[in-house]
Amino acid sequence: MTVKIAPSILSADFARLGEEVRAIDAAGCDYVHIDVMDGHFVPNLTIGPMVVKALRPHSAKVFDTHLMIDPVDPYIEAFVKAGSDIVTLHAEAGKHIDRSLQLIKSLGCKAGLSLNPATPESVLEYVLDKLDLILVMSVNPGFGGQSFIPAALEKVKRIKAMIGSRPIEIEVDGGVVPGTAQALAAAGADVLVAGSAVFKTSDYAGNIRALR
């Protein structure tokens, strides 16, 4: 099975976001990765639910919303209603991961949990049955264009073993380039997020193909 590619629109032209989403859709992306930052959990500010809602008519692809915000619970419903297909929160944000995951599921949305580079995979153990996706950060979240942290590869392998036969996707986010993509897929990654690697040139289709 070929790996899914989720271009991060963090690296898109924010003045033409609708057009950019249509372009990555036409270029063959699988998911549209939407990086939400609050200037508190991470040192950057990006996109709110209004923008997600405005982008929704531009593509029927999976909207993969990555919440880098703390607190997270007060905003989950807004991001689901805006049209997210998957809502992922960070294990390090908020105090009640189990409750937050239940909230996402109760709204009929897929739920993801993300781990920062220094967070051990053991935090997944008691919520595995509530997860549709596990997002392994291979950079410290906040910015696009950072270098891949190699320890993520080992973490993906361990998480793959933990998941067993559960229908959970493993997604890797940060510094993914064609050179790291193959090893990540071999380690068990199902979805690769790529910001700079997709948007670096106008040949989005070629850049996505190079990552697969």
Residue ranges binding ligand DX5 (CB under 6 A): 8, 10-11, 33, 35, 66, 139, 141-142, 144-146, 173-176, 193-197
Q: Which phi and psi (to 5°) does residue 181 adopt?
A: -60, -45
DSSP assignment letter at 130: G
CB nearer Zn ion, residue 66 or residue 90:
66
Least distance CB 129 / ligand DX5 (angstroms): 25
CB of 165 to ligand DX5, least distance (A): 28
Task: Supply the minimum distance, in Å, between the C-beta of residue 144 and Zn ion.
Answer: 9
DSSP class per residue in 46-112? ---HHHHHHHGGG--SEEEEEEE-SS-HHHHHHHHHTT-SEEEEETTSSS-HHHHHHHHHHTT-EEE
Whats the size of the chain, residue-wise?
212
Q: Does residue 173 touch Zn ion according to CB under 5 A?
A: yes
Residue 25 designated active-site: no
- List the single partner that 116 binds among ligand DX5, Zn ion, none, CB under 5 to 8 Å by kind: none
Which member of 35, 64, 132, 190 is catalytic? 35
Q: Which listed option, Zn ion, ligand DX5, none, makes contact with residue 139 (CB within 5 to 8 Å by class)?
A: ligand DX5
Catalytic residue flag (residue 173): yes
How far is it between the farthest Cα atoms of the chain? Answer: 43
The least distance separating Zn ion from the CB of residue 193, rounded to whole angstroms, comes to 5
C-alpha 212/C-alpha 209 separation (Å) is 5
- Which string of x and - marks every residue 14-43 that binds Zn ion (by CB under 5 A)? ---------------------x--------
Give 30 or 35: the residue with its C-beta nearer to ligand DX5. Answer: 35
- Which residue has the closest beta carbon to ligand DX5? 195
Taking each helix axis as running N to C, give the angle between helix 204-211 and helix 178-187, from 0 to 180 degrees, rounded to the nearest 10.
40
| Residue of 36, 64, 66, 138 interacting with Zn ion (CB under 5 A) | 66
Q: Report the alpha-carbon distance of residue 82 to residue 34 in Å, rounded.
A: 12
What is the rounded distance in angstroms from the CA atom of residue 52 to the CA atom of residue 95? 25
Q: Among ligand DX5, Zn ion, none, what binds residue 48 when CB lies within 5 to 8 Å by partner kind?
A: none
Lookup: tokens for 208: 């996505």
Radius of gyration from C-alpha coordinates of the chain: 16
* Catalytic residue positions, numbered: 35, 173
Interface contacts to Zn ion, rule CB under 5 A: 35, 66, 173
